[in-house]
Chain A
Amino acid sequence: MRERELVRAVDGVSFAIAPGERVGFLGPNGAGKTTTLKMLAGLLYPSAGRVRVAGHVPQRREAAYLDQIMLVMGQKQQLVWDLPPADTFELNRAVYRVSRADFTARVGELSELLELGDLVKKPTRELSLGERMKCELVAALIHRPKVLFLDEPTIGLDVSTQVKVREFIRDYNARHGATLVLTSHYMDDVAALCPRVIVIDQGRLTFDGALDALVREVRPEKRLTLRLRGAIDEEVLRSLGALIERTEERVVLQVPQDALSAAVSRALAAFDVLDLTVEAAPLEEVMSELFARGRAAREGRADAADAADAADAKEPSE
């Protein structure tokens, strides 16, 4: 028999999502994002706690629930490998009881949006990864789910296909008011699709709110990029903010939000500025800082616990 070790993949994660919202789950590898998504989709049975989606208990997998949802996984496909995607579309038409007229209209519309053409008649194995993902999306949306779970939908895709898939998903949400719940390692997916993010780290919810608020909380500083000409007074430069990058004519500074306007005015007054941009820190950087803080906090707690244990152990001998 299989040896089993009980691991709490998700613990004390509590949130509510309104119909039509677009929410991204963020977290390092193994944080519990996909586990949460699979629980919401009814694939995993939670050992404790309560999950309800669209008025249903997901793990019961009632037909009335499954009719309303779909989970698209970037690394798992529902298309049959040796048959054309059109065969899977047809199966889904029957399984989800979609009328012939609706089916034809929906497949036509989705295929046009994704520029699929005759690809759906080729065996799936002959399609590129991007083409397969687009066909997966069509297969997933034939029954027009009200809740769409997306697990790494753009993984492995080239940049232009990633953009296309994002636009398509966004458009589906706008047209049909569907709720989107997404996990992705690509921050661009999250930035483009999800105004709200839920951060899960080590199975626990560590942030739930607007993406902008998360960025402000983790990295309140802004990036000030200057392209300069002529002599540069190093002292003035350093007084503007923390120096991140410096080349002969390009300078990147990190400046606290409340000191930004003063820093910009001083820079314009002190230097010959060719170009100036202000941006938030890249999302990847914000997330890695957030996860690093999470790790540090855990290690700190563990060290404190070790110290306490050591103190306890010493006590009797004293």
Chain B
Amino acid sequence: MRTLRTLPALFSLGFASATAYRAEFVVWALTSTLPLIMLPLWHAVAAEAPLAGFSESRFTAYFLTGFVVRQLVGNWASWTINFEVKSGALSQRLLRPIHPLWFYATESLASIPLRSVLALPVAIVAIALADPTHVARDPLHWAMVLPAVLGAWAIGFFAHVAIGALSLWMHQSIKVVDLWYAGFFVLSGYLIPIAVFPAWLQPLPRWLPFEYVHGFPIDLLTGAMSPARALERLGAQWTWVAILGLLALGLWHRGLRRYGAFGG
């Protein structure tokens, strides 16, 4: 109850912070333009003939949608937690009668409006350029967009919290983020759509969380699968949210027993 009533103030502070750090957000957004850079490469590959069902126009729809998804579900809590554990700044969050993870979560979610300023024009271009066959038309698809985007954000968030909480055991848990991103770049469909993976490799991403952060919301928005299949994947996505959520909370609460509250 207290948390619910505090959320507007947390969002308001998060939005004010995001606005104060807008220059950093622009830089971050520029670093997430890799899918746009990949686009001409894939166009060249698909120029002669479609690759695994991907024509040039489908690649366009896929990577522009990917850019938008990335803006909506980006997370950085592991860096913040690492810094706050090392510097002792976490103490100030622990002193308040509200779970610290709400601070990190609202900080990330409250920056979405700002990141949408960059995402929105790309989304408009994507819709204008896209072949209508690559935009979801079934209302069932659209009904699943919000839970799927939220699920994608939540997987990323809990993964970051889990990695951040490792800093209570390790000197530099931030190195573990590199592992997460290595998996993300290769197995989420961020650089290479999973549909163009060799057949023998295609089942692998289905058993890992990465695809549910990126490829799945894109497939949903571009109508690349049946509503029944989408619902099945939404279920798998939220199973990952639950697994990573439990892992993150477990690591966090066990880790806090080791917190040194340095400085001060």
In angstroms, how far is the closest chain B Cβ from the Cβ of A257?
A: 39
Chain A residues with CB under 8 Å of B98's CB are: 63, 95
CB pair A1–B89 under 8 Å, yes or no, is no
Say whether A91 faces chain B, with CB atoms less than 8 Å apart.
yes
Contact A63 B2, CB 8 Å, known A45-B257, A78-B92, A83-B16 = yes
Chain A residues with CB under 8 Å of B171's CB are: 2
Task: Assign chain A's interface to a size class.
Answer: 35 or more
Chain A residues with CB under 8 Å of B5's CB are: 94, 97
In angstroms, how far is the closest chain B Cβ from the Cβ of A82?
A: 4
Chain A residues with CB under 8 Å of B96's CB are: 66, 92, 95-96
CB 8 Å contact bits of A73-112 with B (1 = contact, 0 = none):
1111110101100011011111111000000000000000
Say whether B29 faces chain A, with CB atoms less than 8 Å apart.
no
* Contact pick for B6, options A34, A76, A82, A95, CB 8 Å: A95
Among the 9-residue stretches B7-15, B35-43, B73-81, the one with 4 or more Cβ atoms under 8 Å from chain A is: B7-15
Specify the chain A residue showing the minimal Cβ separation from B91. Answer: A43
A161 CA to B166 CA, complexed, in Å: 41
CB pair A95–B8 under 8 Å, yes or no, is no
CB pair A76–B92 under 8 Å, yes or no, is yes
Say whether A67 faces chain B, with CB atoms less than 8 Å apart.
yes
CB 8 Å contact bits of A43-64 with B (1 = contact, 0 = none):
1110000000000000001011
Say whether B228 faces chain A, with CB atoms less than 8 Å apart.
no
In angstroms, how far is the closest chain A Cβ from the Cβ of B256?
A: 8
Specify the chain A residue showing the minimal Cβ separation from B20. Answer: A82
Chain A residues with CB under 8 Å of B263's CB are: 73, 75-76
A123 CA to B20 CA, complexed, in Å: 10
CB pair A2–B170 under 8 Å, yes or no, is yes
In angstroms, how far is the closest chain B Cβ from the Cβ of A117?
A: 21
CB 8 Å contact bits of B253-264 with A (1 = contact, 0 = none):
000110111011
A92 CA to B263 CA, complexed, in Å: 23
In angstroms, how far is the closest chain B Cβ from the Cβ of A86?
A: 10
In angstroms, how far is the closest chain B Cβ from the Cβ of A34?
A: 6
CB 8 Å contact bits of B76-103 with A (1 = contact, 0 = none):
0000000000001101101111100000
CB pair A66–B97 under 8 Å, yes or no, is yes
In angstroms, how far is the closest chain B Cβ from the Cβ of A47?
A: 9
Say whether B169 faces chain A, with CB atoms less than 8 Å apart.
yes
Say whether B180 faces chain A, with CB atoms less than 8 Å apart.
no
Specify the chain B residue showing the minimal Cβ separation from A45. Answer: B257
Chain B residues with CB under 8 Å of A82's CB are: 17, 20-21
In angstroms, how far is the closest chain A Cβ from the Cβ of B251?
A: 14
In angstroms, how far is the closest chain B Cβ from the Cβ of A142?
A: 11
In angstroms, how far is the closest chain B Cβ from the Cβ of A127?
A: 15
* Contact pick for B97, options A34, A75, A87, A95, CB 8 Å: A95
Chain B residues with CB under 8 Å of A74's CB are: 264
Chain B residues with CB under 8 Å of A64's CB are: 97
* Contact pick for B264, options A45, A61, A70, A75, CB 8 Å: A75
Chain B residues with CB under 8 Å of A69's CB are: 95
Contact A83 B21, CB 8 Å, known A2-B170, A38-B91, A43-B261 = no
3 closest A-B pairs by CB: A94-B9, A73-B264, A63-B97
Residues of chain B having any CB pair with chain A under 8 Å: 2, 5-6, 8-10, 12-13, 16-17, 20-21, 88-89, 91-92, 94-98, 169-171, 256-257, 259-261, 263-264
